[in-house]
Amino acid sequence: MPRFLRNLLIGAAVLLLLAVVLDRVFPLPLPAPDTGSTVVLAHDGTPLRAFADSDGVWRYPTTSKQVSPLYLQALLTYEDRWFYRHPGVNPYALARGVATAVRHGHIVSGGSTLTMQVARIITPIPHTVAGKFVQIFRALQLEVHLSKAQILNLYLNHAPFGGPIQGVEAASWAYLGKPADRLSHAEAALLAVLPQSPSLLRPDRHSDAARRARDKVLKRMRDEGLWSEAQVRDAEIEPVVARSLRAPLEAALLAERLHEQQPQARRIVTTIDANLQRSVEDRVSDYLSRLPPRTSAAVLVVDNATLEARVYVGTAEFGDPLRLGHVDMVRAPRSPGSTLKPFLYGLALDDGLITSQSLLVDAPQDFGGYKPGNFDETFSGPVSVAEALQRSLNVPAVDVLDHVGPNRFVARLANGGIDLGLPQGAQPNLSIILGGASTRLENLVGAYTAFANGGIAGAPRYVPDQPKQARRLLSPGAAWIIRDILSTNPADVEGAPLDGTINQHGAVAWKTGTSYGYRDAWAIGVTDGWTVGVWIGRPDGTPSPGQYGAVTSLPLMFAVVDMLPDDRTHPHATQPANVRRVDICWPLGGAASATPTALCRQRRVAWTLDGAMPPTFAERDITAWSAGLITVRVDAQGHRLSATCRSKVEHRIQIARWPALATSWLSTDDATQAALPPLAPGCAADSLDVANPIRIAGLSDGVRLRQAPNSAQPLRVTLQALGASGEVQWLLDGRLQGSSLGNANMQLALPQAGDHQITALTRDGAFAQLAVYVDKS
């Protein structure tokens, strides 16, 4: 072998050995594959929130297959068109860089390949002659250890774009508000040149300089014949407009929640609709600007078919200290107010206890020492199930819960996804139906989807691969009937259309709720396609007097429903075969077809389930009054005969009796028809009569009263219920004022001029009423 060749081979071996040694001594400092910021994305890829890495850098992982081909064309043509052909260093480019530096006295073009730029990105290298040799060495290392695709991906993810932005995907979203796979020719050229001098070419600060640099790239693309003259001319017309540099911040609390659950994930794709999320956040912010200080809100919108959440607003203003904007009210435990009532009535339907028009009594009642009242402190007497649910009356709901059983009701809710929080050591009791427990907005919304899904409730899903959790809460028939009741609920508050009608969604089934002390205002709405939940209140639990579900949360809920996509493509819930419309009769509750006309005092059209037509609830703790159908013997004159009485001529008659506590609200005709015939002379008293008839003393019926002149105090009267032996409830115009014992004095205030009705009502149904008129002073 010739000496020259042998020396050449020895030299090459030494250089190779030296390269191997240097590669081992100075290993390539590649960034760890899982380093970088985390980005939480909407379902279409739009970033919702970015979490910077430990160095404060925003970087959204991407690859060359996920960015625009226009960008790759511009980048490789302008920066390194021989990228796929050189071994990391382009000798011609280096020589050209040295020649221009000698000619101009300073570096004009460094001759760096894209691989050399990646070398400088991944490790600090000084801009000196020695640094250039280090950069060349690192570039060769990169080419040995990585493929061209891997090197290109390092550039796409780590190139500097100004401020804390690294990588083309983060830059595209930060400056242009769009993903890097949707770039125009002008935008691709701009992002290709920006890393050359990111601080001087930032489009949000130096738009003119950025435009000149962009146009230079555009001309290069035209001169190389890659882009047409027309494409470049149109691109040059496009202005350089960049958004203020900020990280995206939509669905911030959901993003934080998912980031905490998946701390190692770099891309978290959610089910959120980015445009809808942004629109609802803006609507919430505007709406709450009219509410008291420190008020926050939460909104959750779920697609009924998939249970995927499309909108997740956890706070009115993320980061606002006055509103406690760091508290996620979608998952904060709060008192649900009356929002559980639809499930109670649905369960009672499934149990065969009621129909949609069963007779309930809204009057002062004592449930073992628990004496609920209504939100407006008034009572309405006899009401239907539908009316009690639509008006959210409390006493009828407690009555139904007493028949269903609190423990069973809580267990059924838990099976459907509503796990109620009770005070430590407490057991389920009747107060839970009025908000005496806690739950979360996401649990309520998931449960309400049952009214659109045939009684099957499901947990909201926030990421596409989250398993679908669906559980039976009600039967299809009960769910359909309750939804029908809620969708015909007249909503006459500001911002809510009558009968809940929204043109593109049909009828909205809705329910509101308010917790004790005005701490929580709720509104939940269900359409064929969507379930929308709204909570408004103060996260610290302090009251917001005057703010309650119907006036505070309901208008916002309807506004959100009106923003949703048309759901007429979703299948409409059809009436189940076991649900029938049947005429029933009050006060007995049976089918009108099976009730004699004389006993059918009021005819109601009811939805029935499985043919069940239960009678009106039996009365509780009533000894002197027998409600329902009773049969009595009467003599020829129509007088009642007690058990020991006999008459030569007697016959039996039937009387339909109303519940005792409803009697003071009956019309004169209904009360007369339900009254017992008087006892025949000489007959001993029986148990059918009210034991202790009462009379109001202190005022005469029909009296006119006048306020004392110049008095700022309301007119007060002192009354007694003569003949009463137990507790007496006093009502003024249907509103409970207080109670007295026996014939003890009761003082009532008559604050307004005009007609008033005063009622004294005992637990066994005995009552007395009188009307008074207060003149203006």
DSSP 148-179: HHHHHHHHHHH-B-STTBBSHHHHIIIIISS-
Residue 451: HSE in the Cβ half-sphere, 13 Å Cα cutoff: 30
What average pLDDT does this structure show over 529-558? 92
Whether 338 is catalytic: yes
* Overall pTM surpassing 0.85 (yes/no): no
State the chain's mean pLDDT as an integer.
86
Rounded-to-integer distance, Cα 196 and Cα 217, Å: 12
**Which candidate in 37, 172, 296, 338 is catalytic?**
338
Task: Tell me what pLDDT residue 500 has.
Answer: 44
Using CA of residue 572, residue 577, residue 579, residue 585, what is the dihedral sign?
positive
What average pLDDT does this structure show over 12-18? 56
Task: Tell me what pLDDT residue 10 has.
Answer: 61
Task: Tell me what pLDDT residue 775 has.
Answer: 84
Whether 229 is catalytic: no
Rounded-to-integer distance, Cα 661 and Cα 763, Å: 7
Q: Give the total residue count for the chain.
A: 777
Examine the pLDDT at 6 and tell me if it is beyond 80: no
Lowest mean pLDDT among 329-338, 652-661, 698-707: 698-707
What average pLDDT does this structure show over 318-323? 82
CA distances from 573 to 46, 523, 533, 534 (A): 33, 22, 20, 23
Q: What are the two backbone dihedrals, phi and then psi, of residue 160, each rounded to the nearest 5 degrees?
A: -80, 135
Q: What are the two backbone dihedrals, phi and then psi, of residue 98, each rounded to the nearest 5 degrees?
A: -65, -40
Confidence of residue 644 (pLDDT cuts 50, 70, 90): confident
Task: Tell me what pLDDT residue 72 has.
Answer: 95
